[in-house]
Amino acid sequence: MKKIVFLALIIFTINSCTSIDETITIDVQDYSTTTHTTINTDLKVVNLVVDQDEFNEMYDNYNEFEEVEIEGFFNLYKNGELLIEDEVVELEIKGKVSAQFDLKSLGVKFDDTYNNTDRVLIDVETLPFHSIDKIKAFRLRNSGNDFEDTMLKDISYTKLAIDAGLDIDLTYAEQTVVFVNGSYLGIMNLRTEANRNGIYRLYKEDKDDITLAKINHGGTLEKKNGDFDKIDRLITAIDTNDLDFLLQEIDLNNFIDYMVFQSMIGNSDWPENNVRFFAIKEGPFRFIMFDLDKVAIKDLDADPLDFINNPVKNPVTDLFNVLYADSEFKNNFNSRFDEIKNSGALSPEKFNAIVSYYKSNIELQMPMHIEKYNNPSSFTDWYLNLEKLKNDFSTRIKNLD
Amino acid sequence: MKKLIITALLFCATISYSQNEFQIESNLGFLYQKDISINNEILKSTGNFGARIGANYLKKFDSNMYFETGLFLKYTTGTYKIETVDFNFNSIRLQVPFYVGYQINDLWRFNLGASVENNKDFEDLAFYLNENLRYDFLVKVAYNYSDLLDFSLYANTMVSKTKDINTLTSPRNGVYIGVIFKIPNSKTNKED
């Protein structure tokens, strides 16, 4: 008898789950028959015209260690009007973990730099020291690790930093619906790049004048472009606690804002990962922020310095600690932290308004997206995930008091 | 608070005892909580119905005192409307209760304790995420109807008071009535 009872419990436990049966009260188009010309949306609509066999080969056999680029044509529509026609582009799959999802992020690189002065491709407000007038490359992003949750987490946190007017380099995004050869692919964020192609256009500089390094998962440094000796000198100065050199070689206002924001919002996939820093010519290094899809997912009550002092050794944590040992830097950091916190620029109300804006943009499209990918598992789940996104940020900010 | 509960649960588990008993318990109940808001819309909760089924294990450590634990499946069903979607849900969670009980007399016994249960579906659990587990305070009163059957009145309330969307499919509070089947102890029977 006891064995039967426990066996039954184990079987039930394995099946422990929540099932949701929902009725959506808005009209939902069928993704299998909807095309870029018949979709009912106010969002911009991308249609990529490619060799379908080449695209399938690249998409289905993606391997992060093998770069596969295919050529195609980029078309952009809004409310049925063709805005950009047959721009030649190169396409490749982007991402690592997030590339395992059924909807993969695509890197799109124009054959010729696209002139965006009329804001046709991407039309968003930028920080005063940035330019999106010319765009060499951009990404159609699946929202990274947030693909299964809200589809707008990364762009919402980025918008929060933009609206706060922080001295941070970042990416700019607009929500779109993407088709490939007229077949529905899904909702994606059309986002500027955080690589050399993105940075040199952001600052209207020459591509060859950019020195760029990144920190990959595990805190490993990767020298990407430009003057590698300059990067080596920086790393040596960090390792030898050469404070004077670091004070000269780091854009301190940018570094402080970058560290304050990332630690305030509680990014747990940083700084031993998702770090890129660059210098223009002989200028100081600045940090560019991207991939905020693992923000406020754990340790919501942790001290901001705990996020900076990631247990995995990495150059950013080491750099911060060398600088933080200097009383003037420490005072500047703490003052700026208090200033941003007390300004209300990162208030839950402001974040909720951003989330609501992005949510309303894609709300009518989400059922079709969910129907295709079953991620999130239901429209109800998407609503609940949005609520959790706002709750987590609110809890995080309140815990800073 | 979580640490306090876990410490109490571990303390209960280490109590030594001399007699034991296995039981099967099933309950039907009503679950409720205050209205909660989703995306600025207040969801009027009309309450949900639920059921529990599982096994209890009792150990006496005094003539009137005993420790009780078990393993339960908690089923909840209900209906809501959020913005553009009407939905009904069926939720199953795994619950492990721990009680300290007191035998008031031959007919009545009283349990006070706490439980831990998964706060999300198992496929959504991840060690690095918040809100994986949920803790509740428990009260149970049992009436000894016969050598084989007890009737029970059981209530729970969630310890954490912070907003948690997972409570939508498993409300914070519940009151259940139930039946407890006492599995005869074969060794005792042989000795008898």
**A352 contact residues in B (CB cutoff 8 A):** 40
CB atoms < 10 A from the CB of B35, how many? 8
Tens-digit pLDDT string for chain A (401 aa): 556 656 665 665 555 678 889 999 999 999 999 999 999 999 999 999 999 999 999 999 888 788 899 999 999 999 999 999 999 999 999 988 889 999 999 999 999 899 999 999 999 999 999 999 999 999 999 999 999 999 999 999 999 999 999 999 999 999 999 999 999 999 999 999 999 999 999 999 999 999 999 999 999 999 999 999 999 999 999 999 999 999 999 999 999 999 999 999 999 999 999 999 999 999 999 999 999 999 999 899 999 999 999 999 999 999 999 999 999 999 999 999 999 999 999 999 999 999 999 999 999 999 999 999 999 989 999 999 999 999 999 999 999 98
**The whole model's pTM is what?**
0.88
Task: Kindly indicate the confidence band of residue B17, based on its pLDDT and cuts at 50, 70 and 90.
Answer: very low
Task: Kindly indicate the confidence band of residue B83, based on its pLDDT and cuts at 50, 70 and 90.
Answer: confident
**Cα(A384)–Cα(B166) distance, integer angstroms:** 9
**Is the model's pLDDT at B123 over the cut of 90?**
no
Q: Would the CB atoms of B84 and A378 count as touching at under 8 Å?
A: no
Chain B within 8 Å of A188 (Cβ-Cβ)? no
Which pLDDT score is estimated for A168?
97
Which pLDDT score is estimated for A289?
98
Write out residues 20-59 of A within 8 Å (CB-CB) of B.
Answer: 20-26
Nearest residue on chain B to A349, alpha-carbon basis:
B40
For the ranges A11-25, A327-341, B6-20, B60-74, which has the lowest average pLDDT? B6-20
Which pLDDT score is estimated for A218?
94
CB atoms < 10 A from the CB of A116, how many? 18
**Cα(B115)–Cα(B136) distance, integer angstroms:** 5
Residue A341, SS3 per DSSP: helix
**Cα(A310)–Cα(A307) distance, integer angstroms:** 6
Long-range contacts of A109-115 (CB under 8 A, 24+ apart): A109/A136, A109/A137, A109/A197, A110/A74, A110/A135, A110/A136, A110/A137, A111/A87, A112/A88, A113/A201, A114/A84, A114/A87
How far lies A210's CA from each of A136, A168, A227, A255, A273, in Å?
15, 17, 8, 18, 21
**A21 contact residues in B (CB cutoff 8 A):** 87-89
Specify the amino acid at residue A115. N
Residue B135, SS3 per DSSP: strand
How far lies B47's CA from each of B31, B43, B78, in Å?
6, 11, 7
Q: How far apart are the first and last CA of chain B?
A: 46
Q: What's the number of CA atoms in the CB half-sphere (13 Å) around residue B114?
A: 21
**A356 contact residues in B (CB cutoff 8 A):** 39-40
Please tell me chain A's helix, strand, coil percentages from 3-state DSSP, rounded to the nearest 5: 40, 25, 35
**Is the model's pLDDT at B6 over the cut of 90?**
no
β-strand partners of B53: B26, B73
Is residue A173 a contact partner of residue A351, using CB atoms and an 8 Å limit? no
Which pLDDT score is estimated for B192?
40
The single residue listed with the structure tokens 């305070």 is B137
Q: Which two tokens stand for residue B123?
A: 């496929």
The single residue listed with the structure tokens 């970058």 is A258
Please tell me chain B's helix, strand, coil percentages from 3-state DSSP, rounded to the nearest 5: 15, 60, 25
Q: Would the CB atoms of B55 and A5 count as touching at under 8 Å?
A: yes
ω into A376 cis (within 30 of 0)? yes
Q: Which residue has the higher pLDDT, B162 or A219?
A: A219
The single residue listed with the structure tokens 């009792």 is B58
**B71 contact residues in A (CB cutoff 8 A):** 6, 9
Q: Would the CB atoms of B38 and A388 count as touching at under 8 Å?
A: no
Which pLDDT score is estimated for A34?
97
**Cα(B1)–Cα(B10) distance, integer angstroms:** 14
CB atoms < 10 A from the CB of A179, how many? 22
The single residue listed with the structure tokens 């998407």 is A382
Q: Would the CB atoms of B90 and A395 count as touching at under 8 Å?
A: no
Q: Which residues contact A363 (CB under 8 A, 6 or more apart)?
A: B83, B84
Which pLDDT score is estimated for A3?
66
Distance from CA of A20 to the nearest CA of B (A): 4
**A18 contact residues in B (CB cutoff 8 A):** 89-92, 121, 169
Q: Would the CB atoms of A384 and B168 count as touching at under 8 Å?
A: yes
Task: Kindly indicate the confidence band of residue B190, based on its pLDDT and cuts at 50, 70 and 90.
Answer: very low
In percent, the amount of chain B with pLDDT more than 90 equals 55
**A12 contact residues in B (CB cutoff 8 A):** 53, 73, 92
Q: Would the CB atoms of B89 and A16 count as touching at under 8 Å?
A: no
Which pLDDT score is estimated for B161?
85
Which pLDDT score is estimated for B187?
55
**Cα(A231)–Cα(A224) distance, integer angstroms:** 10
Chain B within 8 Å of A7 (Cβ-Cβ)? no
**Cα(A91)–Cα(A71) distance, integer angstroms:** 6
Write out residues 293-322 of A within 8 Å (CB-CB) of B.
Answer: 297-298, 300
Which pLDDT score is estimated for B189?
45
Q: Would the CB atoms of A20 and B89 count as touching at under 8 Å?
A: yes
Q: Which residue has the higher pLDDT, B178 or A18?
A: B178
How far is it between the farthest Cα atoms of chain A? 78
Of A26, A380, A388, the CB nearest to B82: A380
**Is the model's pLDDT at B8 over the cut of 80?**
no
Task: Kindly indicate the confidence band of residue B9, based on its pLDDT and cuts at 50, 70 and 90.
Answer: low
**Is the model's pLDDT at B42 over the cut of 90?**
no
Which pLDDT score is estimated for B165?
84
Which pLDDT score is estimated for B16?
44
How far lies A291's CA from each of A192, A284, A362, in Å?
12, 23, 20
Of B88, B118, B165, the CB nearest to A21: B88
Q: Would the CB atoms of A300 and B93 count as touching at under 8 Å?
A: no
**CA B24: distance to chain centroid?**
13
Q: Which residue has the higher pLDDT, B88 or A262?
A: A262
For the ranges A51-65, A224-238, B10-24, B137-151, which has the lowest average pLDDT? B10-24
**CA A262: distance to chain centroid?**
13
DSSP string, A198-225: HHHHHTT--GGGEEEEEEETTTEEEEEE
Is residue A296 a contact partner of residue A372, using CB atoms and an 8 Å limit? no
Write out residues 263-292 of A within 8 Å (CB-CB) of B.
Answer: 268
The alpha helices in B92-191, defined as continuous H runs, are 186-191
